[in-house]
């Protein structure tokens, strides 16, 4: 996909709301969702991609500038665009995500709790999220 085709594709989904109250509510919500998505990069039980997708939706209805920023961001824009346009993740993204997830889960099980049921729950959640990531279509680099 060429850069101009990608920009046209991004512009096609933008429909900035005319009501300023709704526009500002969506704009602020977009930043909150980006913040939660960034936290999800580091917290193993918090998903990341869904918050960036929701933030993109909010920005598409509130700010063309920030919608474009989100999709072209050097840290997570590529992942969001791959997921949105191609419906998948690269093998490297999967390996990185699952490694970070498992490291966080294992550290949480070892250091965060002594409760056996919580440890089992953390393990089950980690296994479920890892399974979900493995089930997503794998894209070529």
Per-residue pLDDT reduced to its tens digit, 5-54? 455 555 666 788 889 999 999 999 999 999 998 888 777 667 777 788 88
> What would the pLDDT profile of 78-107 be if each residue is shown by its tens digit?
878 777 778 888 888 888 888 888 888 898
What is the reported pTM? 0.64
Interatomic CA distance for residues 139 and 141, integer angstroms: 6
Domain spans of the chain, in order of start: 3-86, 90-139
What sign has the CA pseudo-torsion 73, 74, 79, 84? positive
> What would the pLDDT profile of 5-18 be if each residue is shown by its tens digit?
455 555 666 788 88
């Amino acid at each position: 996909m060429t850069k101009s085709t990608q920009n046209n594709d991004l512009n096609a989904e933008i429909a900035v709301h005319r009501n300023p109250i709704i526009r500002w509510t969506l704009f602020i919500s977009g930043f909150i969702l980006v913040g939660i998505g960034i936290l999800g990069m580091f917290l193993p039980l918090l998903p990341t991609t869904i918050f960036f997708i929701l933030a993109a939706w909010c920005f598409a209805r509130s700010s063309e500038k920030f919608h474009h920023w989100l999709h072209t961001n050097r840290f997570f824009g590529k992942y969001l665009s791959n997921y949105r346009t191609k419906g998948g993740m690269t093998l490297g993204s999967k390996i990185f995500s699952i490694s970070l997830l498992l490291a966080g889960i294992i550290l949480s099980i070892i250091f965060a709790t002594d409760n056996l049921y919580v440890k089992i729950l953390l393990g089950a959640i980690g296994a479920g999220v890892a399974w979900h990531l493995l089930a997503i279509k794998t894209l070529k680099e």
